[in-house]
């Protein structure tokens, strides 16, 4: 099970009446790391690694000095399965189990609105993901030099087809996140559904990049474009790639709420899954 972060351990309550005075709890050590910070740190590290690998892959797929170059037109068809496979591996890894492996501020927002993530985690997760995007992109540029930062690679910053205007790109980015959010709601509504979620997310990511990459850019993740666009200087359309997925997450979570309570093939799905309720009662983190 992923996308839900690991739950904090439940501490037993002291007895209501005690003949022996209970010792006062000791203050936490200075500089202690909170569980939220630990989970956000996992998001930072995995996002940085993902962007480093994406920039590296684009450098070898598009770079003119690469013996493996396939050209910009075929690169999305190769990059899609690679990125999808990486996401699946990250989601089943220990850091992925710790934080839920969102790696996408829009997904974090959607899960909060679906009541699968505490609201206090949203801002730390988003900041960590965007910072990880910058760190990973910069690290790849530092390693590969001009081969990754210049020429056709440009730090793997995505660019739409010239025929696609801002409205079309915004609609594509938002539309994909609507579908992804509904998919997450359906999978997370049943405990058994979470077992296949890493593979569904990986397959969806592969298809989106392969199909929409040559058209709208196929980012569908503010963190995917944030670091590459800033370091490559492609900031004129950055707002589209930031706003589109966020808008789609809001619309998709609202639609999922209507579907859960109204008519349709998913009518009657619980707003909070039985597994989520068991963890909330102190049953601990589920086996993933």
Lowest mean pLDDT among 4-18, 90-104, 137-151: 4-18
Share of the chain above pLDDT 70, in %: 78
Among 199, 165, 201, residue whose Cα is nearest residue 183: 201
Band (167; pLDDT cuts 50, 70, 90): very high
pLDDT of residue 71: 83
pLDDT tens for each residue of 47-90 = 999 999 999 999 999 988 888 888 888 999 999 999 999 999 99
* Rounded distance between C-alpha atoms, residue 185 and residue 271, angstroms: 9
Band (20; pLDDT cuts 50, 70, 90): low
Share of the chain above pLDDT 90, in %: 68
Whether 240 shows a pLDDT value over 80: the answer reads: yes
Q: Which two tokens stand for residue 101?
A: 């492996």
pLDDT of residue 34: 67
pTM: 0.82
Buried-state track 35-53, b at ≥16 Cβ within 10 A, e below 16: ebeebbbbbbbbbbbbbbb
Question: Could you identify the residue written with the tokens 């993530």?
Answer: 117
Mean pLDDT of all residues in 198-207:
95
Residue 104 Cα to chain centre, angstroms: 3
More confident residue, 270 or 111: 111
Mean pLDDT of all residues in 108-133:
96
Check if the beta carbon of residue 237 is closer than 8 Å to that of residue 154: no
DSSP codes joined into one string, 232-277: HT--TTHHHHHHHHHHHHHHHHHHHHHHHHSSSTTTT--SS-HHHH
Band (284; pLDDT cuts 50, 70, 90): very low
Whether 161 shows a pLDDT value over 60: the answer reads: yes
* DSSP symbol at 193: G
Element (H, E) at 141: helix 122-144
pLDDT of residue 33: 58
Whether 145 shows a pLDDT value over 50: the answer reads: yes
pLDDT of residue 282: 38
Question: Could you identify the residue written with the tokens 């399965």?
Answer: 81
pLDDT of residue 21: 55
Those residues with Cβ within 8 angstroms of residue 71's Cβ, 6 or more apart along the chain or in another chain: 62
Check if the beta carbon of residue 138 is closer than 8 Å to that of residue 227: yes
Mean pLDDT of all residues in 154-173:
96
Average pLDDT value for the chain: 84
* Rounded distance between C-alpha atoms, residue 96 and residue 81, angstroms: 19
* Rounded distance between C-alpha atoms, residue 142 and residue 148, angstroms: 9
């Amino acid at each position: 099970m992923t996308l839900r972060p690991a739950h904090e351990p439940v501490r037993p309550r002291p007895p209501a009446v005690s003949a022996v005075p209970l010792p006062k709890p000791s203050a936490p050590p200075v500089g202690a790391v909170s569980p939220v910070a630990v989970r956000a740190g996992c998001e930072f590290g995995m996002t940085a690694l993902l962007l480093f690998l994406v920039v590296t892959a684009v450098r070898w797929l598009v770079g003119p000095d690469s013996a493996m170059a396939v050209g910009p037109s075929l690169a999305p068809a190769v990059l899609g399965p690679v990125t999808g496979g990486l996401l699946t591996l990250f989601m089943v890894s220990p850091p992925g189990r710790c934080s839920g492996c969102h790696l996408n501020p829009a997904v974090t927002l959607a899960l909060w609105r679906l009541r699968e993530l505490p609201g206090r985690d949203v801002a730390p997760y988003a900041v960590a993901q965007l910072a990880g995007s910058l760190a990973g992109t910069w690290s790849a540029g530092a390693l590969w030099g001009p081969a990754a930062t210049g020429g056709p690679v440009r730090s793997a910053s995505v660019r739409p087809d010239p025929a696609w205007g801002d409205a079309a790109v915004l609609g594509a980015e938002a539309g994909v996140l609507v579908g992804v959010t509904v998919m997450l709601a359906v999978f997370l509504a049943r405990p058994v559904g979470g077992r296949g979620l890493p593979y569904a997310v990986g397959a969806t990511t592969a298809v989106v990049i392969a199909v929409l990459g040559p058209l709208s850019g196929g980012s569908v993740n503010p963190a995917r474009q944030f670091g590459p666009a800033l370091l490559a200087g492609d900031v004129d359309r950055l707002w589209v790639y930031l706003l589109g997925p966020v808008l789609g997450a809001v619309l998709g979570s609202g639609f999922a709420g209507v579907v859960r309570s109204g008519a349709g093939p998913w009518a009657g799905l619980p707003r909070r899954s039985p597994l989520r309720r068991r963890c909330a009662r102190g049953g601990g983190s589920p086996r993933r």
